[in-house]
């Protein structure tokens, strides 16, 4: 469910003010991607982890292929593009999707969405190590430290041997995988293809990986038929939180720029928490609310606009 690979491909040094229509689209996008945690939370009660991910990427890829055909967007199939699709299918698709869904077998969907918001924190660290010209400055160091402080708060007070801790670690692993996808995208696929074509190729390769995996390990056809609500959650996960969300994100990306589009990272946990409370009856402890607030503060510092605003006010 990630926009991180595209957001980090060509972020501008500055960001213009968004129009009300673009803010509205950003809010809708946060609901679509925040909804993935709700749909996972519903489906995972009846459907095995690998089967959920396989269904999501297979149906999502099919929908995006239809969008490509209607839009007339070419899907490059040269050797380098196929390598790019394969790498992204693992780092930005199959692996993080599986880790997050597995994590949601042990923790609430709202908490999973908070942990997903740590992706930019890990991206900053990996970029510092792997990408020339992406060194951490003081502002980014402060943002990263705030992010990790928030994660420490989220992990505090939990039993070291409990299943809940395993769920937290799995969701953090998903965020780290998305961060590696960002680095892979910056180094190897920047400007290689239209973003929608890249997403289509990525999901198609993820389906080639996940469908056989689910058939072999989950043996879904030997399991009871899921309920109507679980099936509906799977369909919405694939069509709404994957195909439709990618399409809307690319529209925001082209209109408002990568930096503005990246603000959705801050909004997804809000949507994930709200949907979990309304539809799943979840509640968040004060520790989780405080942890999210600290992580959000770190993301705002990394984004830079808040710092620039106060600097301009001071200079004025």
Is there a contact between 108 and 284 (Cβ–Cβ < 8 Å)?
A: yes
Q: Which pLDDT does position 190 carry in this prediction?
A: 60
Q: Evaluate whether residue 312 is within a structural domain.
A: no
Q: Residue 48: give the domain boundaries.
A: 4-132+163-283
Which residue has 């395993």 as its token pair? 166
Q: Evaluate whether residue 289 is within a structural domain.
A: no
Instruction: Return d(Cα 63, Cα 8) in angstroms, integer.
Output: 24
Q: Which pLDDT does position 44 carry in this prediction?
A: 97
Helix axes 245-256, 20-43, angle to 10 degrees: 150
Q: Evaluate whether residue 301 is within a structural domain.
A: no
With a cut of 50, list the residues of the chain below it in pLDDT: 1, 3-14
Q: Evaluate whether residue 248 is within a structural domain.
A: yes
Q: Evaluate whether residue 171 is within a structural domain.
A: yes
Q: Evaluate whether residue 153 is within a structural domain.
A: no
Q: Around Cβ 16, how many Cβ atoms within 10 Å?
A: 11
Q: Evaluate whether residue 145 is within a structural domain.
A: no
Q: Which pLDDT does position 8 carry in this prediction?
A: 42
Q: Which pLDDT does position 52 carry in this prediction?
A: 98
* 156-177: pLDDT as tens digits: 877 666 789 999 999 999 999 9
Split into its structural domains, the chain has a count of: 1
Q: Evaluate whether residue 61 is within a structural domain.
A: yes
Q: Which pLDDT does position 296 carry in this prediction?
A: 93
């Amino acid at each position: 469910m990630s926009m991180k690979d595209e957001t980090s491909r060509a972020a501008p040094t500055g960001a213009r003010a968004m129009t009300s229509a673009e803010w509205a689209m950003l809010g809708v996008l946060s609901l679509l991607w925040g909804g993935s945690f709700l749909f996972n939370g519903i489906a995972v009660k009846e459907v095995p982890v690998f089967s959920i991910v396989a269904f999501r990427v297979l149906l999502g890829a099919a929908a995006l292929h239809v969008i490509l055909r209607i839009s007339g967007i070419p899907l490059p199939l040269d050797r380098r593009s196929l390598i790019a699709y394969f790498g992204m299918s693992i780092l930005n698709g199959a692996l993080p999707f599986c880790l997050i869904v597995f994590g949601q077998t042990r923790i609430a969907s709202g908490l999973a969405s908070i942990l997903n918001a740590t992706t930019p924190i890990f991206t900053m660290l990996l970029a510092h190590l792997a990408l020339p010209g992406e060194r951490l400055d003081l502002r980014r160091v402060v943002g990263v430290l705030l992010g990790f402080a928030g994660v420490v708060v989220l992990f505090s007070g939990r039993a070291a041997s409990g299943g809940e801790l395993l769920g937290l670690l799995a969701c953090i692993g998903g965020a780290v995988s998305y961060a590696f996808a960002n680095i892979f995208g910056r180094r190897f696929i920047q400007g290689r293809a239209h973003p929608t074509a890249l997403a289509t190729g990525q999901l198609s390769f993820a389906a080639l990986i996940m469908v056989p995996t689910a058939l072999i390990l989950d043996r879904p056809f030997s399991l009871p038929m899921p309920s109507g609500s679980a099936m509906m959650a799977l369909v919405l996960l694939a069509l709404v939180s994957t195909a439709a969300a990618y399409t809307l994100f690319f529209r925001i990306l082209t209109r408002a720029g990568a930096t503005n589009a990246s603000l959705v990272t801050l909004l997804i946990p809000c949507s994930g928490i709200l949907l979990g409370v309304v539809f799943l009856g979840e509640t968040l402890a004060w520790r989780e609310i405080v942890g999210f607030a600290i992580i959000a503060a770190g993301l705002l510092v990394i984004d830079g606009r808040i710092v620039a605003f106060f600097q301009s006010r001071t200079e004025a």
